[in-house]
């Protein structure tokens, strides 16, 4: 392993200053250190964020929504009373994510900014498009875990995080501190390969994700998360669905359906959400919405199974919400 410097930042301002070109932020390290060992991420300096105060915990303030600090660990999220009360979908989404050990170290910011799991991307021997090469090896190669929708760009990676779809279903916003403070929709933190930019996230050099905010209005929704894995633990989603809506008299309103594991970015088709909004819910309506979500699917050599799988998960999630 090449030598590198390690610095503990005491404040967001210091971390931002240290995160010059050639440096990387590290929180729990559960993703970054693996990439470092595989020579995929080779920063000259790691800037440890974990000693920065004020970036941990979950707090609900009326009028300001629910705020989740970026350095909160995933286990702390699962144990948070504020989340159990106002955003139980998070516990559901994390129940089958990684392992207890990884969730004890892994943080909200790290989970939202983790890199994809494509084996060609994670192997330094393959100069894939995302790493600056000319081709996507997975498009023609081994692609059982890759995307079936949104694959028109240069990369067929699958979106890995379980937390992000659950938070996007509640219109989550993220605040980034850095040269300039900004707040953006969490959904906009992810770069669609169709834009032909060789990046997964829109975070810029020197930026630190400080917190996630869920607006008050979204907290009126009921939510559910369903995930299919190829084994019962330690496994990323083959497909996952976060669904949320206000439910009354058998009707779903203000609907959000966000899929993970099937596209390079969290996948939403707003037309499918509008289709069921305010209508008496039925299995037929759920199936029609699922069909619409997957209408542009283009299976690769090994992953056609994801299309019926995702449709079935959407149907189950919506039926669960309506019940």
Ligand X SMILES: Cc1cc2nc3c(=O)[nH]c(=O)nc-3n(C[C@H](O)[C@H](O)[C@H](O)COP(=O)(O)OP(=O)(O)OC[C@H]3O[C@@H](n4cnc5c(N)ncnc54)[C@H](O)[C@@H]3O)c2cc1C
Q: Does 32 bind ligand X (CB under 6 A)?
A: yes
Spatial distance between the Cα atoms of 323 and 319, rounded to a whole number of angstroms: 6
Q: Looking up tokens 């979500």, which residue turns up?
A: 293
Distant-in-sequence, close-in-space partners of 266: CB < 8 Å, separation ≥ 6: 159, 164, 165, 168, 187, 190, 258, 259, 260
Token couple for 256: 């959000």
Phi, psi of 214 (to 5 degrees): -105, 125
Beta bridge partners of 68: 58, 212
Instruction: State the minimum distance, in angstroms, from the CB of residue 111 to ligand X.
Output: 3
Token couple for 191: 């770069």
Q: Does 9 bind ligand X (CB under 6 A)?
A: no
Q: Does 7 bind ligand X (CB under 6 A)?
A: no
Instruction: State the minimum distance, in angstroms, from the CB of residue 264 to ligand X.
Output: 15
**How many Cβ atoms are within 10 Å of 316's Cβ, its own excluded?**
17
- Vertex 233: Cα angle to 315 and 95 (nearest 5): 60
Q: Which span (21-29, 121-129, 241-249, 310-318) binds ligand X, by CB under 6 A?
A: 21-29
Spatial distance between the Cα atoms of 137 and 134, rounded to a whole number of angstroms: 9
- Of the residues 118, 128, 155, 163, which one makes contact with ligand X according to CB under 6 A: 163
**For the CA atoms of 36, 129, 199, 19, what is the dihedral angle to 10 degrees?**
40
- Of the residues 9, 16, 18, 28, which one makes contact with ligand X according to CB under 6 A: 28
Residues 248 to 287: which contact ligand X by CB under 6 A?
Answer: none
- Of the residues 20, 181, 234, 283, which one makes contact with ligand X according to CB under 6 A: 234
Instruction: State the minimum distance, in angstroms, from the CB of residue 280 to ligand X.
Output: 34
Q: Does 109 bind ligand X (CB under 6 A)?
A: yes
Based on CB atoms, which residue is closest to ligand X, 208 or 309?
A: 208
Closest-CA residue to 136 (of 126, 128, 145, 144): 128
Each residue 58-97 as x (binds ligand X by CB under 6 A) or -, in order, gives: ------------x--------------------------x
Q: Does 124 bind ligand X (CB under 6 A)?
A: no
Chain centroid, CA 62 distance in Å? 26
Instruction: State the minimum distance, in angstroms, from the CB of residue 183 to ligand X.
Output: 14
Residue nearest to ligand X (CB): 110
Q: By the 8 A CB rule, do 301 and 253 touch?
A: no
Q: Does 208 bind ligand X (CB under 6 A)?
A: yes
- Of the residues 16, 72, 107, 116, which one makes contact with ligand X according to CB under 6 A: 107
Count the residues of the shown chain that bind ligand X, applying the rule CB under 6 A. Answer: 31
Bridge-based pairing state of the strands 45-48 and 5-8: parallel
Instruction: State the minimum distance, in angstroms, from the CB of residue 292 to ligand X.
Output: 26
Q: Which span (59-67, 77-85, 105-113, 122-130) binds ligand X, by CB under 6 A?
A: 105-113
- Vertex 124: Cα angle to 165 and 31 (nearest 5): 35
- Of the residues 209, 242, 247, 294, which one makes contact with ligand X according to CB under 6 A: 209
Give the binding site for ligand X (CB under 6 A). 24-32, 49, 70, 97-98, 102, 105-107, 109-111, 113-114, 160-163, 208-209, 234-236
């Amino acid at each position: 392993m090449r030598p590198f410097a390690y610095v503990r930042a005491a404040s967001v301002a210091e971390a931002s200053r240290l995160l010059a070109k050639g440096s990387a932020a590290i929180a729990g390290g559960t993703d970054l250190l693996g990439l470092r060992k595989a020579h995929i991420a080779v920063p000259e300096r790691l800037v440890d964020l974990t000693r920065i105060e004020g970036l941990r915990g979950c707090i609900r303030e009326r009028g300001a929504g629910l705020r989740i600090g970026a350095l909160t660990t995933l286990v702390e999220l699962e144990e948070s009373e504020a989340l159990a009360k106002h955003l139980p979908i998070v516990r559901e989404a994390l129940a089958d994510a990684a392992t207890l050990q990884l969730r004890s170290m892994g943080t909200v910011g790290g989970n939202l900014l983790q890199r994809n799991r494509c084996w060609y991307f994670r192997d330094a021997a393959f100069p894939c498009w995302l790493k600056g090469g000319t081709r996507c090896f997975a498009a023609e190669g081994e692609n059982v875990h890759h995307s079936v929708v949104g694959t028109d760009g240069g990369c067929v990676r699958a979106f890995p995080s379980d937390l992000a779809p659950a938070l996007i279903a509640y219109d989550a916003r993220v605040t980034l501190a850095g040269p300039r403070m900004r707040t953006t929709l969490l959904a906009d933190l992810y770069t669609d390969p169709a834009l032909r930019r060789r990046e997964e996230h829109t975070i810029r050099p020197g930026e630190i994700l400080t917190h996630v905010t869920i607006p008050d209005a979204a907290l009126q929704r009921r939510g559910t998360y369903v995930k299919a894995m190829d084994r019962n633990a330690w496994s990323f989603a083959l497909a996952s669905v976060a669904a949320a809506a206000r439910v009354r008299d058998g009707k779903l309103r203000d609907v959000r359906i966000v899929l993970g594991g099937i596209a390079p970015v969290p996948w939403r088709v707003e037309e499918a959400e509008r289709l069921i909004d305010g209508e008496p819910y039925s299995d037929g309506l759920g199936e029609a919405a699922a069909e619409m979500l997957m209408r542009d699917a283009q299976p690769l050599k090994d992953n056609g199974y994801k299309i019926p799988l995702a449709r079935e998960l959407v149907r189950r999630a919506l039926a669960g919400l309506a019940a």
